Amino acid sequence: MNIKHLRTGLFVLLAAMTVGCRNNKKKSVAVEENEVSNLVLPTPRQVEWANAEVGVLIHFDINVYEPEYNWRGDWDYNPDAKIFNPTELDTDQWIKAAKDAGANYAVLVAKHCTGFSLWPTEAHEYSVKSSPWRSGKGDIVADFVASCKKYGVKPGLYASATANGYFKVDNPGLVITGDSIAQKAYNKVVETQLTELWSNYGDLFEIWFDGGVLPKSKGGADIVPILQEKQPDAVVFQGPYGTKNLVRWVGNEEGLAAYPSWSTADSTTKADGTVVVEGLHGNPDAPIWCPGEADAPLRKNSSWQGGWFWHEGQDHMINSQEEMLHKYYHSVGRNTNLLIGMVVDNRGLVPDVDVKALKDFGDEIKKRFNTSIAEAKGEGEEIMLEFNAPTEINHVIIMEDIAQGERIRKYKVEGKINGEWKLLAEGESVGHKRIQEFDAVEVSGIRLSVPKAIAPPKIKKLAVYNI
């Protein structure tokens, strides 16, 4: 190894093949020291969440047993709880599949739009306790959380209040008749159910509010005090405005974040949480740390129920590995977590074809990114990696140390080709992670420079790969 440039002690060399990196203080980013104190910072839980990068969202509901049922189409009818009987249900199998996909957290849909609940709620009878499954004594939420613990996957729960066929409730969480007594009764059900889910199953990593949260002032249930009391540290997807640990939707169910994708969003976001109305890019000048989470089912959006639920005869609707990689590059590669939708079939298992596709995806990500050619980290507006010999590369990963804020506003990556610096990639947001792919090129060095930042950039990782 030939260390040519190592001018400052600020950098730490990580990879064996790395030759050198330097901090060039001469080029100024024009940062006022007092701006640093105005930086918006994530909570420790939000940092942990960003580090998790990939999660799964597991959908299972009574409609798997009655696919003709449309909760919104027939308000006066609900499938009988007796048809729900996943005789082979095995949550270990689900979580193992999630883990093989590279997921570090899993969110279970404990109650979707039909209103049928996967745990024996006290709020009403429409749940597993009225089903023949385990003679009405089972609890899928409890099984799920136990499996997550077993496999070291962080558990989360979805139990959205915005729609419920059993109580004739539709978005944004109001009973369709407009009847105030029925609304009051429904709000009580929501409060009881969320209290159960947030009290009885331990600490939750993430809570998922599909469609956001209808504020109490607009007729919704009184959710905020329960959340703050029971799960104060959970990351909250589209959570109530004013609560901490928020995460925003990226605006589609294709796993595609817009670029730039900033970690912060502003107070003009909807009260239901955090969908930035304009552009869905977030806002680099906004005061709230609220990064994006891109949800996408493994089965294509064009399949039954948007690909979120299992349907017989749709094994061919699984996204190809190429399609999943595209989602990964456009979510994780854009400072956004990827939440992959996983189906559970009528046996209570993730189908073999889905298990295989998830594993193939996880394996491919590991194969691509587990080993870099060279890495560096450090503080300042320029970092360089130099190689002993011309080296072919086609990917670069940049990570900011987001615990210290999202500081970069513009960056470029250049490669030294035949002694000259040539632009390989450039962009705006970096945040937790930015992945960029470019045509393979032989370089003798790489230079990351940050022409625009609001405080001295803190680079947790600059890594190059040849994939």
SS3 125: coil
Instruction: Name the amino acid, one letter, at 175.
Output: V
- Between helices 352-369 and 91-100, what is the axis angle to 10°? 30
Going by C-alpha positions, the residue among 86, 126, 105 that lies closest to residue 45 is: 105
Q: Can you say how many angstroms the Cα of residue 363 is from the centroid of all Cα atoms in its chain? A: 19
Going by C-alpha positions, the residue among 183, 149, 60 that lies closest to residue 113 is: 60
Nearest residue (CB) to ligand IPT, 120 versus 239: 239
* 211 is a contact residue toward ligand IPT (CB under 6 A): yes
SS3 452: strand
Number of residues in contact with ligand IPT, rule: CB under 6 A?
7
* 238 is a contact residue toward ligand IPT (CB under 6 A): yes
Chosen residue from 61, 266, 295, 382 binding ligand IPT by CB under 6 A: 295
* 210 is a contact residue toward ligand IPT (CB under 6 A): yes
Label the pairing between strands 420-427 and 292-297. unpaired
- Provide the token pair at 129: 């306790």
The span of 197-205, 206-214, 330-338, 412-420 binding ligand IPT (CB under 6 A) equals 206-214
Q: Which helix (H) or strand (E) holds 238?
A: none
* 254 is a contact residue toward ligand IPT (CB under 6 A): no
* 241 is a contact residue toward ligand IPT (CB under 6 A): no
Going by C-alpha positions, the residue among 333, 367, 315 that lies closest to residue 255 is: 333
Q: Minimum distance between the CB of residue 238 and ligand IPT, rounded to whole angstroms?
A: 6
Nearest residue (CB) to ligand IPT, 101 versus 296: 296
The span of 209-217, 285-293, 309-317, 439-447 binding ligand IPT (CB under 6 A) equals 209-217
* 333 is a contact residue toward ligand IPT (CB under 6 A): no
Q: Minimum distance between the CB of residue 19 and ligand IPT, rounded to whole angstroms?
A: 45
Question: Could you tell me where the DSSP H helices lie in 29-179?
Answer: 33-36, 44-52, 91-100, 140-151
Nearest residue (CB) to ligand IPT, 212 versus 457: 212
Q: Of residues 26-45, which lie at the interface with ligand IPT (CB under 6 A)?
A: none
* 114 is a contact residue toward ligand IPT (CB under 6 A): no
Rounded to the nearest 5°, which phi and psi values hold at 393? -140, 155
CA 349, CA 51: separation in Å to the nearest integer? 28
Nearest residue (CB) to ligand IPT, 176 versus 423: 176
Q: Minimum distance between the CB of residue 162 and ligand IPT, rounded to whole angstroms?
A: 8
* 249 is a contact residue toward ligand IPT (CB under 6 A): yes
Cα distances (angstroms) measured from residue 48 to each of 70, 95, 96, 206, 401:
38, 20, 21, 11, 12
Question: Could you tell me where the DSSP H helices lie in 343-429?
Answer: 352-369
Nearest residue (CB) to ligand IPT, 91 versus 305: 305
Nearest residue (CB) to ligand IPT, 29 versus 108: 108
Nearest residue (CB) to ligand IPT, 202 versus 279: 279
- Between helices 140-151 and 91-100, what is the axis angle to 10°? 40
The span of 19-27, 177-185, 204-212, 354-362 binding ligand IPT (CB under 6 A) equals 204-212
Chosen residue from 115, 138, 212, 215 binding ligand IPT by CB under 6 A: 212
Q: Which residues bind ligand IPT (CB under 6 A)?
A: 210-212, 238, 249, 253, 295
